[in-house]
Chain A
Amino acid sequence: MEFRQHQLANGLTILAECNPDAYFGAYGIFVRAGSRDEQAEISGVSHFLEHMVFKGTPTRSAEQVNLELDELGSSSNARTGEESTIYHAAVLPEFQTALIELLADLMRPALRLEDFETEKKVIIEEIMMYQDQPPYGGHEQLMLEYFGGHPLGQSVLGTVESVGNLNPEQMRAYFAQRYSPGNMALIAAGKVDFKRLVDDAERLCGDWKSCPVQRPVSLANPQPGFATLHKPNSTLQYVLQLSPGPATEDEDRFAMRLLATILGDDGGSRIYWKMLDSGLAESAGIGSYEYLGAGLVMSYFCCEPKLAQENLALLNAILLEALQGVTAKELELAKQKIVAQILLASERTEARMFSVGGQWLNNQGFKTPAEIANQYRGVTLEEVNAVARKYPLGNCRTLSIGPRTDLVLG
């Protein structure tokens, strides 16, 4: 296993974790472009652009792109979040150069009007699909309400209206702002020929024009409170809560992830024993999520509506009790669990690619799975309990979704 890195003159970063024993290579283009980089009037443009990238380039039609991806036998996809857009594919070693040629070309999309209008319909179908799935757009509503006017509260998908109103010129302008090579990285893991990767990137991406890219990171001003989204034909009641947690750049994030595991993992946690093992809730959990300059702890459960008030009281008791601290035994079990998860993920080539790319996105340098596991092992009971006091989880914003409109916080 060898970590390699290179940067082109135009700023494009190339990082790879090369494993000669792997069966295949996983490759990704990571772009620091997400919903937090959008103005309200172009809400959803990052995600829409991710779709449009697959609709062709000046030299390839959409159909050719799809044909080539399949001809390479690639397992390919893309994802857009609040802070990033990631295009990724895994291929057998003999297809490395062909895949990089395709991916590099895709990063200069044609954005043809006809394709734009057809794909807009697909995006609207996607928005409608999520409207039919629990929690029925509740996550987006909660993020919007929690963050107030902060960019992190903006929906990744956008709305039917904002996406419906987008035009190719707005997308081109956004593309020009965010898809500058200095704001992008080519990431690889597995059976990678690194020299060839760099040579190919030089040949294919070396002429990409660079421009300064900015992402202002303003302070979040979380808005505690309680709201209800009435969904009369939902069978279950869904409750989501957000409270502040450590940000990406905050070293407390390791302790917070351990705390969230102790309190809210889907097996063996406090939530598990109080709400899931008893059958009071269908599902429940607590997780921590980090962004630049802001972090979140999200708690959720869903259950039969008649049990929702009882579960809400139980959840909030668990969140409040965290202030009293956790036990050494709980911490040890949480460490075992997280370290085992890191080991299992470390054997999957695509997971390694996402780990390397994720560290680049967050300006965290590069750490091996063993080094990351050691960071978790090194967290003390005092540090976990200090994090529990620093980020009081009961100080949250709540959204209740479902047939009931009468839930109260406590």
Chain B
Amino acid sequence: MTDRQAIFQHRFDNGLTLVAQSMPWLESAAFSFAMPAGCSRESAQQRGLANFCCEMVFRGGGDYDNRGLVEKLESLGCDYFSSTSVYHSFFGGAMPATGLLEALGVYADVLRRPQLPEDQFEDGRMTCLQEIHSLEDDLSSRVMLELRRRFYGDPLGRHAEGLIEHVNRITLDDIRGFYDACYQPQDAVIAVAGKLEWPRLLERIAGLFADWKGHSSPNSPATPPEHGVCHIPFSSHQTHIGIAWPSVPYNHPEYYLARGAVGVLSDGMSSRLFREVRDRRGLCYTVAANLHSLRTEGSVVCYCGTTSENAQQSLDVLVEQFQLLSQGITEEELQRLKVQIRSGLIMQQESCRARVGNLAGDILHLGHVRTLDEVSDRINGLTTTGINDWLRAHPPGPFDVVTLGEQPLELHDGIPTTSAR
């Protein structure tokens, strides 16, 4: 499919992986540092610590104070971000490629020599608390976060923002302790894509990070999931519905069979959910399902937002469509999906930001990069027989459901729920 891919990978002795894709037709570059400092590493009594630490780390490093750091990155034209997920905290940006090597040096200061300034500790806490409050007003996110919490259990079902009461009692020593334990080169990944020269990049990263020492920390102990149906009463215009059921993670040999099945359900305007719930019945504006993948577990998650009077019918139609899926997909559906996925893969190649996200994700999930050719071959290799056999062996369900709105909804008789298993 492409002869323009040049992907490089190097693992340093300290366990840090550098992965890069040269895209010489661009004038820009993007980078992402994935540090093994996600919220699954924090204790169950300190929910929000990883996110708070990420916030504090970015408040100055090396000789850069908070303001100096921001001004330096902006002078390089760097559009930067930081965020925390289950396993990792990410620090990254996109910029004109001319300043890339310099920006990487700034991040070495931030990640290896953070100031964790005491005089900004309360500002950092306020920032984290505001993020938690803001989630409360995002009703669709609330539903999906609660669904994820129940489906995966702790710590994999956590969201990074954590809990207000926990964030309120975190100390600067807690932040320092978490930094020392988790900001380590082992299992860390640096991904870079765009206009770059691999030998110079490798030399630069080696100079900045090869002498970093340390080992990553284990996850917090696991607690079991809570399956079944859950309703959050709330006075709102729409009822927000989240549904999940088990699937396979990205590194599973059958991942693309599951991807194909979910694609028929939700990719594009001819997909089954769009057609049946929105187009034919006018029950909602937003409906979508996708595969969600952690390292060892995966799920299908579906969201639908619909006014209260349409909510029960929407849920019934959704579940009916999930069940119909196990009866198989058609050759036409698969062919449409293949064209869509292939187009998406090709279009993605113009964006260094999109590529850097995929490079980092592949290393974190697989340990190596799946080239676009490889992905394309796997998609092209899908057959209706393969997907339908897989669907018969793994029919959608049992369903976990979380709803938020005026009234609870019912899963009708004959529909298996996870509370019964």
A residues near B (Cβ < 8 Å) are: 21-24, 54, 62-63, 65-67, 69-76, 90-92, 117-126, 128-129, 131-134, 233-236, 267-268, 272-273, 276-283, 302-304, 333, 336-337, 339-341, 343-344, 347-349
Contact = CB atoms under 8 A, between A and B. Distances in A.
A125 B307 contact: yes
A122 B282 contact: yes
Contacts of B78: 340
Interface in B258-307: 267-271, 274-275, 278-286, 305-307
B127 A347 contact: no
Given A122-B282, A125-B283, A343-B77, A132 B236 contact: yes
Most buried by B among A67, A125, A282, A339: A125
Contacts of A21: 25
Contact of B130 (A122, A303, A333): A303
Contacts of A69: 268-270
Nearest to A231: B137
Contacts of B126: 278-280
A120 B282 contact: yes
Contacts of B280: 118
Contact of B349 (A23, A71, A277, A278): A23
Given A70-B271, A121-B310, A278-B126, 16 more contacts: A63-B270, A69-B269, A70-B339, A92-B343, A122-B278, A122-B284, A126-B285, A128-B307, A129-B237, A132-B240, A132-B305, A133-B139, A267-B80, A279-B124, A304-B130, A343-B77
Contacts of A341: 79
A304 B129 contact: yes
A268 B28 contact: no
A323 to B, nearest CB: 24
Interface in B223-243: 234-238, 240
- Which 3 pairs between the two chains have the least Cβ-Cβ distance? A279-B126, A340-B77, A121-B282
A123 B285 CA distance: 7
A235 B136 contact: yes
B63 interface: no
Most buried by A among B124, B126, B281: B126
B53 to A, nearest CB: 15
Contacts of B130: 236, 279, 281-282, 303-304
Contacts of B274: 66
Given A129-B285, A132-B139, A277-B123, A267 B237 contact: no
Interface residues of B, number: 73
Given A267-B70, A337-B77, A343-B28, A282 B336 contact: no
B137 A63 contact: no
B328 interface: no
Nearest to A265: B74
A73 B78 CA distance: 33
Nearest to B27: A343
A251 to B, nearest CB: 25
Contacts of B269: 54, 65-66, 69-70, 76
B77 A235 contact: no
A63 B66 CA distance: 54
B346 A24 contact: yes
Contact of B336 (A70, A125, A131): A70
Contacts of A233: 234-235
A350 to B, nearest CB: 9
B26 A347 contact: yes
A73 B268 CA distance: 9
Contacts of B76: 336
B281 A344 contact: no
B270 A278 contact: no
Interface string B6-44: 000000000000000000011110000000000000000
Contact of B96 (A117, A276, A343): A343
B66 A304 contact: no
Contacts of B283: 121, 125
Nearest to A69: B269
A63 B306 contact: no
Nearest to B75: A336
Contacts of B138: 133-134
